[in-house]
Every structure is written in structure tokens, then in C-alpha cells.
Structure 1
Amino acid sequence: MAFRNKQAPKGYVPGLGRGAAGFTTRSDVGPAAMAAPADGGGGSRAAEQRAAKLLMQKQQQQQKMAVEPSPFGQAPEGYVPGMGRGSTGMGFASGGNNEGPVGGAAEESAINETPYDEEDEEADRIYEAIDERMKKRRKKGDDQGDSTVSKIGSQFRDLKEQLANVSESEWAAIPDVGDYSLRYKQKRKQDTFTPITDSLLESRSMTNADATSGNATLAGTAQVVDEKSSGFKSVANMTGLAEARGTVLGMSLDRMGDSVTGQTVVDPKGYLTSLSNNKLATDAEIGDINKARLLLKSVRDTNPNHGPGWIAAARVEEAAGKTLQARKLIQEGCEVCPKSEDVWLEAARLHPSDVAKTILASAVRRIPQSVKIFQKAADLENNEESKKAVLRKGLEMNPTSVELWKAAIELEDAENAKILLSVAVEKVPQCVDMWLALARLETYDNARKVLNQARRALPTERSIWLAAAKLEESQNHDEMVEKIVQKAVSSLAKHDAIVTRSQWLNEAEMAEASSAPTTSAAIIKFTIGLGVDVEDRQRTWADDANGTLSRGAVSTARAILAHSLSVFPSKRSLWMQAVELERKHGDATSLDDVLAAACERLPKQEIFWLVRAKEKWTLGDVEKAREILTEAFAANPNSEPIWLAAAKLEWETGEIDRARVLLQRARERASSDRVYMKSALLERESGKLDDALNLVEEGIEKYPKFAKLYMIGGQICSQELKPTLENIDRARSFYKKGLTSCPNSIVLWILSSQLEEKAPVLLNGNTTANQGIGFTKARSLLELARLKNAKSPELWVEAIRLERRAGNEKLAITLMARALQECPKSGLLLAENITTSPRPEQKSKSADAIKKNPDDPLVITAVASLFASERKQEKARKWFERAVVLNPDLGDSWAKYYAFECAVGDETKKKSIKDRCIKADPKHGEIWCSIMKDVKNTKVSTGEGLEMASQHIIKMKEANL
């Protein structure tokens, strides 16, 4: 390139743009620079040329500065160039580079004018000595005049140039460099055994012995000469190792045997196993313990009289497994903090029982008023007599300590406890518990005296008044109970002892729990109205009764309702609440008493008469039930429910003629649609179908809007009479009139469609043509019903079932889809969709049904049946239980649940479900009503109906399978 031969610009430093430092050294310029060898072997020619150019430029600059005057004038005396910019301001007399920017005549004149004293001479000698020293340390090749010595790199320059011609195969053939230096080393000599003297062994044993750390000194050691390390190394003796192991084992046993309780905790059989299970502390834990030690040591040094610091330090050592150190620390704490009971108690805890007793004895002498120390000392005693002695000593020192009195009294028998209590109440009259305990131990007369003394000592304590009331109740002095409670309320108010209404209710519940119901009732009587507005009394008291009843306080709830009824005797809701309470938590006598009082207070309320008569009839007392109904007739002569109840009583007991007479009188005196219906049902059950039809027609004339009369007439003509054309037409006439008068009766539409479906078969035989005619008429009737009663799930389900009976499965699926669009949340439709879908689709249908209506008992029952069919018994039982809880009045859920338990359950579960069903007494359900309302099953009980319904469900499943 052309620029290579040109002179470099001023200030140019080679390689500066590529990161070079750009500096020059004394070897580059100055008298110390090493001359380049003549043949160029000492370095690069480019570097030599650069050095020569720099030297030439520097000399020219010095000459120019010497000739040209300075624009700033002559320099002041003593001025040294560059001093303000960090220059040292000194020049070297010899061996250095004195050529600086000042140079020339100016420098010589400055040097000649400066006086040369002894210090300058000494400095020159020192610098000359340094230069001589540095010259001697240089290598021979570094001398300026030695140009024959070349560097090592220049000697192999020609060989390096030949490496460019080496091929790849030659590179691969180059052998690896091994360690050939071992051949020049002398052969290792074998280790030689050099015994040492017995005196040295003994001195080392005495020096290394440390009992606290468990490090046993080796009984014998030897030194082996190690030429490689030029020293000695120790070899352990097996005898010493055995002794060390025995020392460690002994210390471990001593530490475990010296436990806090004074009893050994060593398992001789599993000791080695327990050693393997010991957890070793990690480095982090050890570091934390050391930090805690330092911090607590600082706390103790700063405030040595602070007891918690000593306790914390001892517990740190205990946690680290150093019980001896912990005991030592806590003993030191006891000496430094003799008035801190916590320190003494901690010391007693850390030491064995015998030592702890001694420690606590010292503590008692230092702190005789410490109750905790006496209690701890008593706990450490093994026999009761020693404990009593310690506690009595404590009572001598602390006669007003309630804790010590109670502890001492608990150790005594009844007689001695009575003596101690009599002294205790004198020493500590403010302790209510000891007054009450003394009263319980005394006789009735003495207990009254004790309670009177307690009342005078503590006039604001309500528990003493209530204890007196309970005492009187135990003696059957009920009148005194009310007087004491009334006086207690007034006395507490007089002494400004504020007792809230909720606190009095709590006291009443506690009195009931302690078998004092009379005291509870008295508390309710005199405190239930505190702080309650007149307008809110009934509602508040009703809520109080429910709240106490939910907490199991039946007598308190009964007392609240009794007081409420005394204030509000004509409130029907309160009487009903009281009746329900007695029905669930009372007996037959208490229930009859409440019902009799309700009938007396509210004679126009038929419900109380009817419930009372039914309870007597259920218990088998038919005559008493009749008397009650007779009284009800006298109070309510034109009451339809009472007439029907009287007729049902005679009907159920087999007195059909008396029931017929009662119903006839009811039709005359208290005529109603239900009276005509019951009259027709009675004749229908008795087998007098013509009389039943006459009563139905008579009732229809008077009450044309009552759909059940049309149903009864149509069922009698189509199901119970001979299937003739005349009877079928009469049944159609009943249904037609009913649909005209009651177009919104869904059951009437369904019965009419079922009649049209079966009529051709009943009249002309079971042929395909007759079935087709019946299906067509029934289908058209159901379509008309859906037009007049939109969004009726029952009509949709009947239409779907009709199509399935006709064999039109695709049409049934289409109708189900339309029905779910019109009634998407209908539990009846969703359950029907689950049960009639193919088996692979039932799970998805169940999930959709639960999302749409999760709380419908029909849906829950269908899902439970699906789980039962898959033999998932626990899930099925859980879902059946949920269904019967959601709606206990649905008989189909009970029947399916009972059928499931009959298949997979035991007798206990079956009996439990049956008892619960009888108690719930369900009245609704498709299968349930079809069985219970059948004329043949009028005398069937709830339990028998459950059995029949479950058998019907089992048969239906077997038929489907």
C-alpha cells in the first residue's frame, strides 16, 4: 500500500483505534533503551524506526524551546515545569532522562543558581546506589551495549515459519507430551517407622484429655517419616479408639439417664437403633445457635438482672443438646436474679426431681410470696401428705391466694375440705367459687346461712342468688324460687350491677343444664321483658324460644312460650309454636295439655280441636277423640273440617253407618264440595256405586267448578263398572262436562285422554286397528289440552308416553325436544328425559338436568337411580338422601330409596328409611298416589304403602330389563 512508506502523523500511536493503550516507556526513548541488534534479531525494524523518530522529535522540540522565548516571559525562581499538573518536580542526576520540556540553557541556569548542600549530595548517593542495584539485577542480555544476546522467540523464528507447510496428517501424528520428569527423580523410599519416647506420649495424653467434649486421647501413637512432605504424620492406635468410643457411649448414657424428670429414658433393646435415628444438626442450625448465644450473652452482660435473658440462654443450650451447660447458666441466673420466680421455675424444670426440690426450697426462702413456686413444689411431691404440707406452708406465707386454697382443698376429703373452706372464705371473701363450694358441702340449713353470708359479702354477684334459688328448688320449694329470683333482680338493679337480658337468658339455660328447670322458668319470668319494646315483645320472644330450642334448652324455650302465651293468650302463632314444641320434645300428656289450653283460649280455631282429636285417636283412645269432636261441634256447629274429621274417625274405625250419618248431616248443615266428595268416596268404598254416582251428580249441580267430582264419576264409570258402551259414554260425559267447566284441570285432561286410548280396546277387543283409533283420539285430545294449557309439563310427559306406547319412538323424541324448549327447567321433563334416554346418553342428560334445575327432587332421584343402576352404591345413597331431604312430601323418592336399600342395603337401613317415611307421611308422587288413592288401598298405612310402591318400582325395573 502507498501509505505504508509515508511518515506517520503527529501524535500517531500504532494500534490505538483497535484498543491499544498508546503509551511509551523508558526503554523506547532515553538512555536506558536497549539498542536493536545489527541483524534485526532483537525485535522488529518497524519498532526501531518508531523509537528513532520519537527520539528525533523530542530533541527538535527541546532545541526549539531553548531558542524561542516563552510567551509568558521568564519563569520565576524555583519554578518546576508540570508541578501544578502532578509532576514530582525532581530530576535525576545521572542514569535517568533529564531531557524535559524545560531543558537547555534555562535548565542549566536553574541548576547552577540552586545551592548544592549535604542533603542533595546524600540524595544523589542514594539514587546512584539504586541505579547500581537495578543494573546488577538485570540480565546480561538487557545491557545497552550487549547486542549479541537475542530473545528466545527470535531463535525459533525460522522453525515457526516452517509450520505453515505442515500437513493435517503430520499434525495428527504428533505424539502427546507426557510427564518425563519422573525419570530424573530419585526412587521413593519406603516409609520408616520411628517410635517416640514414653514421656512424650504421656505428656500428649495429659494435654489432649477433655472430658466435657468426649474426645478420648489415643492410648498410643507413632510417627512415620514422610519424605514427600518432609515431616511426620500420626498413626492412631486401635486401643485408643476403643477407649474413645467407650467414653462417648458412657457420656451419652449419663446424659440420657440424667433427664429432667429424674427417670431414665434409655431403651436397652433399641438404643443402637435410636442412635441411628438421631438427627444431626446442620451447619445452618449450628450457626443460628451460635448467633443466639452471642446475642443472649450480650443481653446478659448489658442487663444481668433481666430474668428472661437467662431463661432464653438456658433454653438455647437445651435445644442444642447441652443440658449441663443449660443448668449451669440457669443456676448462675438464679444467683444474679434471686427475685425472679420465672428463673427459679426454669431451673427446677431443667433439673431432676430431687435437685428441683432443693432449688425450689431455696427459691421459697428468697421469694416467699411466690404462689407459682409453691404450686410447682407441690407438684414435684409424690405423695399427698407431702403435697399438703407444701401447700399449707404456702398458705402460711400467702393466706389470700385463691389458687393455693383451691389446690389444698382439692386434696382433702369432704370434712377437711369443709374446714378449709370455712377458713378460706374468711381469708378470701371475694372468691365466689369457694362460697358456693362450701354451700354445696353443708346441710340445707347451714347452706342457707353460708349463702346469706356470701350475699352480704358480695351483694352484686348474681350467681349467689341463683345458687340460693337452686337450693330451694332442690327442696321442692317452688314458691321460694320465684321470690328469690325476683328479689335478686331488684337487688342487683339497686346495687347498679348491670346484667343484660342475654346474660339472664344464658343463666336460665345454665340452670336448666344443672337440672333446675323451675329456676330457669323463674329467671325467664322476671327477666324476659328487660329492654324489649312493647310492640316487639311477641316477635322477640318467639325468636328467643327458637334460639334456645336450637341450643337444646327445651325447658327454657317452654318457659319463654308459656310466659308469651300468658301475655298474648289469643295469638294463634304462639299456640302453634308451643304445640310443635311439645310434639317434638314433649310427651303425650304435655302435648294434650297445651292443645286443651289452646282449645280453651281459641275455641273457634278448628285446627287445635282436630289435632287434639287425632292425637287421641292415634293413641287408641277413640272415645276421648269423639268427646273432643263433640266439644268442637258445640263450639263450631257449621265447621266443615270438624264434620269431615268426625266422619273420618268413624270411617277409619269401621263405623260406616255412623260416618254416613255424619256426612249426611254435614251436607245439610255445612255443605261444601269436599263434603260431597267424601260422601261419594264413602259410598264408592262401600260398593254402592250407584249411590256414589248420584252424590257426584248432585255435587256437580251445586259445585260445577270442582274438578274432583268429575274425576270420581268418570273413574267409577270407566274402571269400576262393566265396560259397556253406555258406561263408557257416561264416563265421557263426566269428563266432557268437567273439561268444559274446568278447562285448566290437567289431571282431568289426562284421564280423558287415557279413556279415549283404552275405550276402543275395551269395547271392540285388543286389535291393532282399535289401538290405532284409541291413540289417534288420545293424541288429538292432548294436543287440544296443550293449546288451552301452555307450558304444562304433565301434558307433555303424557303425550310423550302415549307415543312410546304407540311405538312411535322418533315422534316421542321430537316431542321431548319441543317440551324441553317450552319448559326448560321442568324437573318432571328432565327426569323423564334421563330415564327414557339410551344408556350411553344418560350421563350427559343427567349433567344437563342438574345444571338447569339442581334442586328438583325428581331430577335428584333420577340421578340417584342412574348411580344405582351402575352399582355405585355410596353415590346413589347420597343422592337419594338429598332427594328425600329436599322434599319429604314426595312419596316416589321414598319408594325408590327404599327399593334401592332392599336390593343392596341391610335391615337397619331399611328400617331407618321406613320410619322416616312414616314420620314424613308423604302425600304426593305419581306412583305413590296411584297406590295410596286406589279404592282397594284405602285402609293401607304409610308403611304398607311404602312397601307396595317399592315392589311396584322393582317390577317396573325387571320389566324394562
Structure 2
Amino acid sequence: MSHIGTVKHIPKEVRYNFLQMAAPASYVAGLGRGASGFTTRSDIGPAREGPSAETIADAQAKRGEEVPDPDAMQDPDDERNLFAGTVYEADDEEADRIWESVDTRMDARRRARREIAEAEQAAKERALNPKLQTQFADLKRNLSSLNDADWDSIPEAGNLTGKRRKHNMRLEENQNGRSYAVSDTVVADIANRNILLGELDKAQQDNGGFDTPAADGTMTDFIAIGNARDKVLSLQLDRASKDAANGSSTSVDPRGYMTALNSQIVQTDAQIGDIKQARQLLQNLIQTNPKHAPGWIAAASLEVHAKKMVAARKIIAEGCEKCPNSEDIWFHAAELNTPENAKIILGRAVQNVPQSVKIWLKAASLESDVKSKKRVLRKALEFIPNSVRLWKETVNLEDDPEDARVLLTRAVEVIPTSVELWLTLARLETPENAKQVLNSARKRIPTSHEIWIAAGRLAEQSPTAIGDVKLEDEAEKTRKLAAQVDKLMVGAVNSLKKNQVILSREAWLQEAEKCEQDGSPLTAQAIVKAVIHQDVEEEDRRNVWIEDAGKAAQGGFYEVARACYVVVLETFPTSPSVWRKAAEFEKAHGTPQAVQDILAQGVQHCPHAEVLWLMAAKEKWVGGDVPGAQAILSEAFKQNEDSESIFLAAAKLAAETGEMEAATQILEKARVQADTERIWMKSAVLQRQLGQLDAALQTLEEAIKKYPTFDKLHMVRGQLHQSRGATANARAAYAQGCRSCPKSIPLWILAARLEEKAGVTIKARSLLESARMKNPKHDLLWAESVKIEERTGSTQQAKAVLARAMQECPTSPILWSMAIFMESPQQRKGRSVDALKKAGEHPAVILAVARLFWGERKIEKTRQWMQNAITADADWGDAWGWWLKFEKQHGELERQELVIEKCIAAAPHHGPVWQAVSKDLQNIGKSTREIVELVAQKLE
């Protein structure tokens, strides 16, 4: 057997001997295999460095690896790479020298500004954050005047740091003879020592009895001390109460003693520290600048806050000596002292600052009687004769108007430019003399509009001052007086313009409102008429003036608004809308006679405005003047021969007054002259009301042939057949109407209700489904479908239909109001919140919320939400019905009558229940009061 070679046997201890050998200095594990080796402190020991970059580069070169160039990633602008091979020549040196000189020169140019900015910044920094040595610089300067005795008298600071601070403070205070509270355990132990025991406990028996007291045999009895203190306090209170009973003076109020103790303000350590710091700062302030009065005032106020009135008075007195020309410091000194001392202080003050009105007024206020006040104020007027405030205070003290008038006469001589003094003097004079006073004031102050306004008010209140107005007719007298005041205010505006005084429209209107508020309506109207044309473009006049009238009426200034409407009507007499707005304003805020006067003038200027004729006739009718209303309508026929509205108004007036034959004749004439669908419909309704059903059906047949798309004709015909019990004819009438008028929602609803009443609920559902297809997203159709399901008793089906309806009409108030009451009682309130967010402020939703509060018997909340529903829409008749029903259940008769009166004033026309009740044949001719009573009964 041949062997290729033999392997020499190596002992085990020799084979692994290198493991005990030290590694080379540059050895890194895994470096030869291309790995990035690492070493730890356990490998290299403490403070041992790894291989250097040269060693690693040599190792990589030996292995044949490419050694990266260390300068490969060098900055290209660095001369080691880009200019590494160039020679630094003389021109390079010259260039560097030139650039260095440029940098030096630029630095020198900016050095001054930089140093100034740095100095300012340093000053600001020192002011905001002063050093500790700077704060105590003045105190350090005072140390130079101390002698050896003063130095020796300074106490040692002691150790106040760390845990020993409190201990050292206690030691020092105990050395001063003061006592402090000890631990609770010590007090409890001392209390136990004074208890008389019949036997000793086990611990005391073990210890052999009580411990022996101190060497001198004394022991502090804290219980006895507390009892003695309480006894002394009770004796003091008893003595004080006896003194009070005997009428002697005492400094202790026994009844309010504990209250006074409770009302004492206990300041915390932080507050005390803040006060001390503020006191030191203010002390430095008044020492460095003793002539600065606010510093003394602040220092005194700080002591007042610290409840040290004596120190405060001392500081403010020193401040008065340092700043004798400051009226504020004298005023505060008087405030901090008693009234008697304050008089003395103010006496010194008027010697130093005799021109201070504030000081004189304070001195007058300290006097107790009026005579002394007058004496002080008149003395003040000797020093300050041109002070309006002093004159006013002096005049206010006079009880006799004659003395006040004499004073004001002197005041206007001394201060001829004071408008207020002139006006006050004019108010004290007789009308004749007041006119002279105002004329004199106007000459002295030609730029004052207040004097002109006062002249207008004087002319309004005392007409004899501007001329003799003696007329029998009171209205004519008022008109004449208003014309004179208007003329005066026009002259006022022109005079002010000549003197280059131009007030804005807003300022003049505010003055007019002030005059109306002060009881001068004619002056207010005169101001409006004189200035309303200012700063308004010609094409914007009507809108701006109507807006001004609306703002004034909203603010309660009805005379100003009335004047605005007068100007609008004079400027635009042929505009029916302006006359209508003016009539509506008078109806809301004026008298019935004023409304009739406005409408009478309106129909004269706008004879073809049907609405004005109708409003005028209605006002006469409402006022009980039926012949007057008929006369107006007759005159309206002459101006508007073919007017549908006037024909219908005349027929309604005749029917309401019981003249049925006249109403029938009017409608027959109207069918010939006007020939409109509404006239045919009203004719059929009147015949139905009179019981002429066949004639009514014949009229409807003729009308439908002429006007097949007028849905009300089909509805009236269907209701006629339905009232006669002809269900088939009614169904045919409604079907024809739905085909001719597919967009008429009430017609579809009437057809569905007919089928439901006939017992064919499936047909009713089908009709409403067809109506929804032709009129998508209409909430009334969905609401009727929900009601049908409710009436049939299918609550779950009603909820399902309502869910579909709300998906198609998510913001419908009618659907949301139904959804609230379909929820369980626990979820209705949350549903109502969603309804208010989604459906807005609609009366149907607000009524639903009110009914929720009603169910919870929250009476006031229910009443408030009922009012909110009326505010949202006063024309919604169902809201008035619900409110009246609520008041009948929970309110008094006065509240019920108030609701009815408000309903009559609002005259509602809409609402599902309201319309059904008001248009019922049995309720034709009934008043609003009767209708709202019936609605309240029908609501469920």
C-alpha cells in the first residue's frame, strides 16, 4: 500500500499554542477577508488605539486592493487640488495683499456704526438684566461713610443655607426672647401629664412611675396657658359689651369681632416677598429721581396695599415736599388722609398749584355744607376763570334759577366760546330772552351746529318766539310751525357750509334721533329734510333713503323714519312701491287716519296702482266705513276698468256685507270684462256657497274649457262632486285635473285622500307614487304618504316611508317635525337637535321642539319656543293654533286673549290645518278670532 505522503502528528497543546500569543499591533479581525473589522474595549484594553490610516492603506496595497485617493473628495476650490501644481508667484501675493487691504478698509468704515450698535445693545442688556453689584451700587457708596462703631454693630449673617436655615432662625429668635409652637407630640405628652389617673398603665408601672421633672422642679402647663388666654379674651368681650350697653365708647365690637377676624386678609409668603421687592425698587426710584411724582404715588400706593397707612401718609407727605408742582401727588395725599387733614393738605396744594381744577374740585367736595362749597368754587374761579367745569359745578349748586342765570351770564362773558354754557343760559331764560341769547351765541360761535339745533327746538316748543301763530285748525297750526322749523334748519345747514363746517349725513341723522328722543319731533324731521340729500348719488337716492327710514324705525325713531318717507314720496311721487312702504310704516307705527291719508294721496299720484286702491278700500272696511270702501272701489273701477283684483275685492266686500246679489252681479260683469281664471273660480265658489251646486258645476265646466291648466278649477269641481256623494264623478274630476295639471301637489293629495276615504288605500298609495315620479323631491307628497300609513296603523311602514322621504328631502322641515315624534321618547330630544341643524328655523320644527317641552311640563320653555315659532314666521297659522291650545291648558285668560290679539294683528294665511279650517264652507265669513279657536280645537 502506497502513501502519497505522511502527516506528522502534532500534540494538542502545541497545536493551539497561538491562542495564548498576543495579537500583532495592527491586527484587526476579518480585515484580510475584506470585512470592516471592529474592536472593543475588551479586545484592546483601556486607552488603546486602533490601526492608523497608513497601516490600513499598506495592508490593502499588499493584498492588491485599490487604495482610494484621500484628496479625491476634496473641495475643488481648495488649492490643494485645483491649484496644487501652481506656483505661488509675486502677483498672487500682491492680489492677496490688495484683498486684505480692501477688507481692512471696509471693516474700518463699518467699525463706528458697529461699535455704537454694540454699545446700545449692551446698555439695553444692562437695563433689562442689571448685575447684582449694579443694583446695590448706591448702598455700596453709602458704606464709605460708616465708622468703626457702625461696622461693629452689623450683626452676623449666620448660616441660613440648607437644612440648618430653619434651625438657626429658631435659635436666633429664641435668643431674642420669642417663643414658638412646638411639636404636637410634645404638647400631647404635656397634656397627659396633667391628667389625674386612678391607676397606672403597664408601661408606667414598668418604668417605675412618672419621670422626674427638670432640676428646678418646674414644668410648662400649656393647657393652663390656653385656658387663661380664653378667660382673658372672654373678660375683654364682656367688658366691651357692658360698655356698649351703658353708652360708653369702646374700640371693640363684640358682635362683629369674629366677622372682623374672618375678613382679615392673610398675606402669603410669596405676597410678602413681592411687596418687599417692590418696596425696594420704588425706594431706589424715589432716591435716584426725587422729583418724579409718579414714583412717590406708587410707593405710597404700595404701602396702602400692604395695610400700612401711616407709612403711606409719610411717604406721600415727603413726596409733596419734593414735588410741590404736581397736582396728582397732592390729590393722592388728600385721598390718603382724613377729611380734616385733607383740607389742610389741599390748602397747601392750591398755594403751589393754583391753576389745578382737579385740586379745587376735590377741596369743594370735602366741604359738608353747600355754602362752604360755593365759597371754595368761587375762590377757584378767581384763579381759573376760564374753566367750564368750575362754572358748571358752581351753577349746579345754585337753587335759585335767577342766581344761576346771573352766574351763567358772567360765565359766557368770560368764556364766550363755550357752547354748553350758552345753551344752559338759554334754557334758563324766557323764550324771548332765549332767542336773544342764542343769536348772541351764534355770532360768537358761528361753527356750532348745537346752537342751531337749540334754536330749532326753541322755535318748536315756543312758537311765539319766531312769530305769532294763531290758527284755529290744530293740524294747520302744526303744519305752519313745521314749515318754520324746516326753514330754520335749512338756514342752519347753509350757514355752517359758509363757515366751512360740514357734518356727515350720519352725524346729522344722529342729531335728529337725539332731538326726537328729547321730545322735539318737528326739529328732528326738519334736520332730516335739510340734510338727507347730502352725499347720496342721484340714482341711489330712493334705496338709500328707504334704508335710512328702515334703520330709524328699527331703532324706535319713528319721526325720523316718517321724515325720510316724506322726502322719498316728494321725490318719487309716481312710484307705487314707495307709497305702499309708507302706508305699511304708518299702519305699523302710526294711526289709521295717517294710513288713509297716505293711501288717498297715493291713488291720486298712481291711479293705475291696483294695490293702493285695494289697500285704501281695506282700511276703510276694517275701520267700519263700508260705504267709504265701496266709494273707493267705484273710483278704482273708473281708473281700472278691467282689473281682476278690483272686481274680486268688490265682490268680496259685497259678500262679506251680506249683499250676495250684488256680489253675483259683480262677478258676472267681471267674467265678461276681465275674464280671468280666478274670476271664474270665485264665481263658482260663490255659487257653491249660496247652495247653487248645479250652477256652480256648469260654471266650472265652462271655465275648465277655457282654462284647463288652472288646477283650482279641477279641485273645486272634485270637492263639489265629493260633497254630493258622487265619488265616481269626483274621481274622474281629480283624474282629469292630474292629467291637465301634473305639477299641482294639492290636486294629487286631494285625489289620494278621496281614494283613502273610499277605502281603496292601495289606490291612494299608487296615486302618491305617481305624483312623486312626476314631482320628485317634494316633501308634501312624502308627508302625505307617511300620514296614510299612520292612519292605516302601519307604524313600521310609516317609518320606512319616512326614511326614504328623508333621503330624498334631507332638509324638509315638515318631514323632520314628523320624524321627531316617530322616535321613542328617550331619543326625541336628540332628534330635535338634528332637526334644528338640518331644517333651519322653520316654525314646524320649532313647534315640534315646543311640544317636547310641553310634554315635559316645562311651561316657560314651551311658551318661549312658541314665541320663537311665531317670530320665525307669523303667517304660519298652525303656530298660533298650537300656542292658543297651550295657553288654554296652562295659561290664564289674559295670556289667551293676548295670543288671540297678536294673531288678529298678524292675519296668518298658511299652515295645513289653518288652510283646511279657513277654507271650509262652514267657516266662510268667520273672523280670525273664530278661525284660530277652531284651529286650536282641531290640532292634535
For normalisation by structure 1, the TM-score amounts to 0.68
Cα distance in 2 for residues equivalent to 1:693 and 1:859: 40
Indicate how the Cα distance of structure 1 residues 840 and 402 shifts in structure 2: closer, same or farther if over 3 A, else same: closer
Instruction: Tell whether 2:413 aligns with 1:426.
Output: yes
How far is the alpha carbon of 1:624 from its aligned partner?
1.0
Superimposed CA distance per residue, residues 406-434 of structure 1 (whole angstroms, 9 cap, x where no aligned partner)? 11110112000000000000111111111
How far is the alpha carbon of 1:777 from its aligned partner?
3.7
Structure-1 residue corresponding to 2:331: 345
Cα distance in 1 for residues equivalent to 2:262 and 2:833: 56
SS in 2 for 1:916: helix
* 8 Å contact kept, 2:301–2:312: yes
Superimposed CA distance per residue, residues 520-576 of structure 1 (whole angstroms, 9 cap, x where no aligned partner)? 222222211112222222222122212222222111111112112211212233222
Query: Of 445, 449, 453, which residue of structure 1 is paired with 2:440?
Result: 453
Q: In structure 1, give the amino acid aligned to 2:500.
A: D
* 8 Å contact kept, 1:711–1:735: yes
**Structure 2: gaps of 5 or more residues:** 1-43, 47-206, 242-248, 467-480
Indicate how the Cα distance of structure 1 residues 800 and 564 shifts in structure 2: closer, same or farther if over 3 A, else same: closer
* 8 Å contact kept, 1:718–1:728: yes
Superimposed CA distance per residue, residues 701-733 of structure 1 (whole angstroms, 9 cap, x where no aligned partner)? 2222212112212211221x2x3xxx3333333
> What is the count of residue pairs matched by the alignment?
705
Q: In structure 2, give the amino acid aligned to 1:553.
A: F
How far is the alpha carbon of 1:741 from its aligned partner?
1.9
Structure-1 residue corresponding to 2:736: 737
Structure-1 residue corresponding to 2:397: 411
How far is the alpha carbon of 1:292 from its aligned partner?
2.5
Cα distance in 1 for residues equivalent to 2:818 and 2:858: 21
How far is the alpha carbon of 1:189 from its aligned partner?
6.4
Map 1:850-929 onto structure 2 (within 5 A): 850-929=836-915
Query: Of 340, 360, 376, which residue of structure 2 is paired with 1:354?
Result: 340
How far is the alpha carbon of 1:603 from its aligned partner?
0.9
How far is the alpha carbon of 1:502 from its aligned partner?
1.6
Map 1:15-30 onto structure 2 (within 5 A): none
Map 1:747-826 onto structure 2 (within 5 A): 747-759=746-758, 771=759, 774-826=760-812
Query: Of 385, 392, 407, which residue of structure 1 is paired with 2:378?
Result: 392
Map 1:86-97 onto structure 2 (within 5 A): none
Query: Of 188, 191, 205, which residue of structure 1 is paired with 2:216?
Result: 191
Q: In structure 2, give the amino acid aligned to 1:718.
A: Q
Instruction: Tell whether 2:463 aligns with 1:463.
Output: no
Map 1:284-303 onto structure 2 (within 5 A): 284-303=270-289
Q: In structure 2, give the amino acid aligned to 1:682.
A: L
How far is the alpha carbon of 1:875 from its aligned partner?
4.5
Cα distance in 2 for residues equivalent to 1:663 and 1:933: 20
Cα distance in 1 for residues equivalent to 2:821 and 2:388: 73
Deviating more after overlay: 385-394 vs 863-872 = 863-872
SS in 2 for 1:604: coil
Identity %: 45
Structure-1 residue corresponding to 2:423: 436
* 8 Å contact kept, 2:843–2:879: yes
Cα distance in 2 for residues equivalent to 1:272 and 1:859: 59
* 8 Å contact kept, 1:469–1:480: no
* 8 Å contact kept, 1:418–1:441: yes
How far is the alpha carbon of 1:191 from its aligned partner?
1.6
Deviating more after overlay: 943-952 vs 336-345 = 336-345
Indicate how the Cα distance of structure 1 residues 310 and 671 shifts in structure 2: closer, same or farther if over 3 A, else same: same
Indicate how the Cα distance of structure 1 residues 780 and 490 shifts in structure 2: closer, same or farther if over 3 A, else same: closer
Greater radius of gyration (CA): 1
* 8 Å contact kept, 1:409–1:421: yes
How far is the alpha carbon of 1:385 from its aligned partner?
0.7
Cα distance in 1 for residues equivalent to 2:281 and 2:838: 67
Indicate how the Cα distance of structure 1 residues 343 and 589 shifts in structure 2: closer, same or farther if over 3 A, else same: same
Structure-2 residue corresponding to 1:587: 591
Instruction: Tell whether 2:281 aligns with 1:277.
Output: no
* 8 Å contact kept, 1:330–1:343: yes
Query: Of 570, 574, 591, which residue of structure 2 is paired with 1:570?
Result: 574
* 8 Å contact kept, 2:777–2:809: yes
Cα distance in 2 for residues equivalent to 1:794 and 1:273: 70
Cα distance in 1 for residues equivalent to 2:232 and 2:251: 24
For normalisation by structure 2, the TM-score amounts to 0.70
Map 1:538-553 onto structure 2 (within 5 A): 538-553=542-557
SS in 2 for 1:299: helix
Instruction: Tell whether 2:642 aligns with 1:631.
Output: no
Structure-1 residue corresponding to 2:56: none
Q: In structure 2, give the amino acid aligned to 1:855.
A: E
Q: In structure 2, give the amino acid aligned to 1:442.
A: E
How far is the alpha carbon of 1:879 from its aligned partner?
3.8
Map 1:611-760 onto structure 2 (within 5 A): 611-719=615-723, 721=724, 723=725, 727-759=726-758
SS in 2 for 1:660: helix
SS in 1 for 2:574: coil
Superimposed CA distance per residue, residues 918-959 of structure 1 (whole angstroms, 9 cap, x where no aligned partner)? 222222222222211110000222221111111122xx4xxx
* 8 Å contact kept, 1:348–1:357: yes
Indicate how the Cα distance of structure 1 residues 301 and 790 shifts in structure 2: closer, same or farther if over 3 A, else same: closer
Cα distance in 1 for residues equivalent to 2:834 and 2:266: 59
Cα distance in 2 for residues equivalent to 1:325 and 1:817: 80
Cα distance in 1 for residues equivalent to 2:878 and 2:918: 11
* 8 Å contact kept, 1:492–1:498: yes
* 8 Å contact kept, 2:768–2:785: yes
Superimposed CA distance per residue, residues 844-868 of structure 1 (whole angstroms, 9 cap, x where no aligned partner)? 6545544542434333333433443
Cα distance in 2 for residues equivalent to 1:187 and 1:926: 103
Superimposed CA distance per residue, residues 788-835 of structure 1 (whole angstroms, 9 cap, x where no aligned partner)? 333333333333443444455554444334333333333333333444
* 8 Å contact kept, 1:409–1:417: yes
* 8 Å contact kept, 1:860–1:879: yes
Cα distance in 1 for residues equivalent to 2:891 and 2:818: 26
Indicate how the Cα distance of structure 1 residues 786 and 469 shifts in structure 2: closer, same or farther if over 3 A, else same: closer
SS in 1 for 2:537: coil
**Structure 1: gaps of 5 or more residues:** 1-16, 20-181, 194-223, 227-235, 254-262, 760-770, 957-961
Cα distance in 2 for residues equivalent to 1:312 and 1:842: 62
Q: In structure 2, give the amino acid aligned to 1:585.
A: H
Cα distance in 2 for residues equivalent to 1:382 and 1:676: 89
Structure-2 residue corresponding to 1:599: 603
Indicate how the Cα distance of structure 1 residues 598 and 356 shifts in structure 2: closer, same or farther if over 3 A, else same: same
* Greater relative contact order (Cα < 8 A, sep 6+): 1
Map 1:16-95 onto structure 2 (within 5 A): none
SS in 2 for 1:630: helix
SS in 1 for 2:854: helix
* 8 Å contact kept, 2:799–2:822: no
Map 1:240-259 onto structure 2 (within 5 A): none
Indicate how the Cα distance of structure 1 residues 437 and 856 shifts in structure 2: closer, same or farther if over 3 A, else same: closer
Cα distance in 1 for residues equivalent to 2:297 and 2:232: 34
Structure-1 residue corresponding to 2:94: none
SS in 1 for 2:538: coil
Deviating more after overlay: 419-428 vs 750-759 = 750-759
How far is the alpha carbon of 1:276 from its aligned partner?
4.1
SS in 2 for 1:536: helix
* 8 Å contact kept, 1:854–1:860: no
Indicate how the Cα distance of structure 1 residues 638 and 583 shifts in structure 2: closer, same or farther if over 3 A, else same: same
Deviating more after overlay: 701-710 vs 428-437 = 701-710
Q: In structure 1, give the amino acid aligned to 2:712.
A: K
